[in-house]
Amino acid sequence: MNNVVSYSKRLLFVDDEDSIRAMLPLILQGHGFDVKTAASVPEALQEIQSSKFDVLLSDLNIGEPGDGYEVIRAVRQANPGCVAIILTAYPYVEGAVESIRHEIDDYFAKPADIDALIATLQKRLAARLPY
């Protein structure tokens, strides 16, 4: 038996910006993540209903209707063990506090340091491994 840590890396990335939704998934896929994308809250909710995800990486201000917190509530209901990380272009103290209330695993400001984001995703996933 080898000592390689293996865990599922199904990730839902939610962002209404076309450019980041085109670029970031390619980077994540290069690090072994199986990425699905959604451009709106309704799209994200549909993905959550049809698939199980290990990680949710969501913009906070996705546009109407809803926001990233609504997506997080839905993914937590569907899969309480899902790692949930907020990625926002508009970081502010109240948002960080709200994230704590929603038990977000981490909070990154755009443009995010990609290496730090990948390291955090991998660390959070490894911490959720069943023992």
* CATH number for 68: 3.40.50.2300
Does residue 1 form part of some domain?
no
* 55-93: burial string, b at 16+ Cβ within 10 Å, e else: bbbbbbebeeebbbbbbbebbbeebeebbbbbbbeeeee
Does residue 56 form part of some domain?
yes
Phi, psi (rounded to 5 degrees) for 117? -65, -50
Question: Packing angle between helix 41-50 and helix 68-78, nearest 10 degrees?
Answer: 10
Indicate the residue type of 8.
S
Structural domain total, the chain: 1
Does residue 105 form part of some domain?
yes
What per-residue confidence (pLDDT) applies to 70? 92
Query: In sequence order, which residues have a C-beta less than 8 Å from that of residue 50 and are 6 or more positions away?
Result: none
Does residue 4 form part of some domain?
no
Range of the domain at 37: 10-127
The rounded average pLDDT for each run of 10 residues, N- to C-terminus, in the chain (131 residues) is: 61 95 95 96 96 94 85 92 88 61 81 93 84 42
Does residue 42 form part of some domain?
yes
Does residue 2 form part of some domain?
no
* Whether this model's pTM surpasses 0.85: yes
What per-residue confidence (pLDDT) applies to 7? 63
Chain length of the chain: 131
